[in-house]
Amino acid sequence: MPDTITKLTYQTFQQGKSSFALGHKTISNRLKSLVFPLRQQNSNNWNPELIFKIQQSMQELLDADWEDSERGVYPAEILFDNPWLDFFSYYPALCLDMAGVWDRMHKRQYQAFSSEIDKEGYPSYYLQNFHHQTDGYLSEMSANLYDLQVELLFNGTADAMRRRILKPLKEGLSKLLPKDQKPRVLDIACGTGRTLKFIRAALPKASLFGVDLSPAYLRKANELLSQMPGVLPQLIQANGEKLPFRDNYFQATTNVFLFHELPHFARQRVINEAFRVTQPGGVFIMCDSIQAVDSPEMMPAMKGFSSIFHEPYYKHYITDDLVKRLEEAGFVDVSTTNHFMSKYWVARKPESVEG
Ligand SMILES: C[S@@+](CC[C@H](N)C(=O)[O-])C[C@H]1O[C@@H](n2cnc3c(N)ncnc32)[C@H](O)[C@@H]1O
């Protein structure tokens, strides 16, 4: 396909996802206000200038996504990757689940789990209905609905934000390894495996590993990743605070959308563990929500996000100095960038580590 046609197709594809998400949110908010008319509704101060700025940064994100594929960071096909089967199978379930979600929101129930969910062995901070999700991260249905929910939340841009880790990842690896050598890459809190899928597309020969606390999400990741050519990534149920790998094992470690869901002490421990398992000279790349310093005008929306979406650690996260945490762990050359609603930290483990 000539480039201009591919680019137009990509823009139309993204426009379609965005319109669908906006339509879904409009209808579901109206329904919610019919069911719970007395409850105060989300009243963010979305002034026209802010809306314009948000639309502009969304467009810049999509431009960056397109440009990275054009530069060969990853193949163009990946731009159109969408879990269609899941979409058609689970969108009705997502709609049916909404009544239960609103009921829990109304009753302010934030740690409600079905009786058959085994809650043993998880850190207490994890046992939450993050984003009011039914059964938190601990059921098959939650794993089936998760990608769809994130796409709706970010108006169809979640994958474009995940893919922004790929350029710094490849750059970091190219400084470290000869071209023909296969890197080992770990994605911490891999969830349903979408980031690993994109890393596989960008680095077809890499040995990939993923850890997550949720067995249901790991099963979902396995389902997704086993459809891809190449060696299946190794998926392990583990806490990012205590990684089951030896020191210096990986040339690169990544994580996407994890840190805002961790209390501050766990954030530092995950960073310390990422440092331990990364090879000297290797890179650690994190992607998560923007923070207060990045966009002060978004502060009212960020504060609202914490309570409206039940994100109990988000308020602390948006003011947490993660550069300092990375440096405290021993990382150097820490740089940060923003794309739309997300922020990226790229850090390097020094060649010689003292102690
Ligand atoms: C918001 S989701 C992000 C998932 C995925 N990285 C993505 O891009 O969609 C957060 C994930 O972190 C996992 N998680 C939370 N705390 C964890 C921890 N301490 N160790 C490992 N995984 C954790 C959850 O099970 C969930 O899959």
DSSP secondary structure, 279-335, as one string = EEEEEEEEEEE--GGG-GGGHHHHHHHHHHTT-TTHHHHTT--HHHHHHHHT-EEEE
Ligand 1 touching residue 149 (CB < 6 A) = no
What residue ranges of the chain are covered by domains with CATH 3.40.50.150?
163-348
Ligand 1 touching residue 257 (CB < 6 A) = yes
What is the CATH topology of the domain spanning 163-348? Rossmann fold (3.40.50)
Ligand 1 touching residue 189 (CB < 6 A) = yes
Alpha-carbon distance of 337 to 314, in angstroms, equals 19
**pLDDT tops 80 at residue 150:** yes
The helix (run of H) or strand (run of E) holding residue 245 is: none
Confidence of residue 39 (pLDDT cuts 50, 70, 90): low
Buried b / exposed e across 63-82, counting CB within 10 Å, b at 16+? Answer: ebbbebbeeebbebebbeee
Those residues with Cβ within 8 angstroms of residue 36's Cβ, 6 or more apart along the chain or in another chain:
102, 106
Alpha-carbon distance of 273 to 220, in angstroms, equals 25
Which atom of ligand 1 is the closest one to the Cα of 211? 21
Alpha-carbon distance of 208 to 187, in angstroms, equals 8
| Amino acid at the residue 314 | Y
Alpha-carbon distance of 255 to 344, in angstroms, equals 10
Q: Per-residue pLDDT tens for 259-298? A: 999 999 999 999 999 999 999 999 999 999 999 999 888 8
Output the CA–CA distances (angstroms, integers) from residue 343 to 10, 203, 350, in the order listed.
Answer: 23, 22, 23
Mean per-residue pLDDT of the chain: 92
* Nearest-10 Cα torsion for 300, 156, 291, 175: -170
Mean pLDDT of 196-218: 97
Long-range contacts of 48-52 (CB under 8 A, 24+ apart): 50/297, 50/298
Whether 50 and 297 have beta carbons less than 8 Å apart is answered as yes
CA 144 / ligand 1 centre spacing (Å):
15
Q: Per-residue pLDDT tens for 302-345? A: 888 887 888 899 999 999 999 999 999 999 999 999 999 999 99
State the burial class of residue 156 (Cβ atoms within 10 Å of its Cβ: 0-12, 13-18, 19+): buried
As a whole number of Å, the CA-based R_g of the chain is 20
Ligand 1 touching residue 58 (CB < 6 A) = no
Q: Per-residue pLDDT tens for 61-102? A: 999 999 999 999 999 999 999 888 888 899 999 999 998 888
Query: Which residue's C-alpha comes closest to atom 8 of ligand 1?
Result: 256
pTM of the full structure: 0.94
- Rounded to 10 deg, the angle between the 166-176 and 194-202 helix axes is 50
Residue 38: the pLDDT is 57
What percentage of the chain reaches a pLDDT higher than 70?
96
**pLDDT tops 70 at residue 203:** yes
Mean pLDDT of 24-49: 74
Confidence of residue 106 (pLDDT cuts 50, 70, 90): confident
CA 257 / ligand 1 centre spacing (Å):
7
Mean pLDDT of 219-226: 97
CA 352 / ligand 1 centre spacing (Å):
31
Alpha-carbon distance of 244 to 267, in angstroms, equals 17
Confidence of residue 206 (pLDDT cuts 50, 70, 90): very high
Alpha-carbon distance of 35 to 287, in angstroms, equals 36
Query: Interior CA angle at 129 toward 87 and 306, to 5°?
Result: 95
Which atom of ligand 1 is the closest one to the Cα of 255? 6
Which atom of ligand 1 is the closest one to the Cα of 195? 8
CA 190 / ligand 1 centre spacing (Å):
6
Mean pLDDT of 213-223: 98
Helix (H, G, I), strand (E, B) or coil at 107: coil
Q: Give the lowest-confidence range in 50-59, 60-69, 230-239.
A: 50-59
CA 330 / ligand 1 centre spacing (Å):
23
**pLDDT tops 60 at residue 43:** no
Q: Per-residue pLDDT tens for 166-182? A: 999 999 999 998 877 89
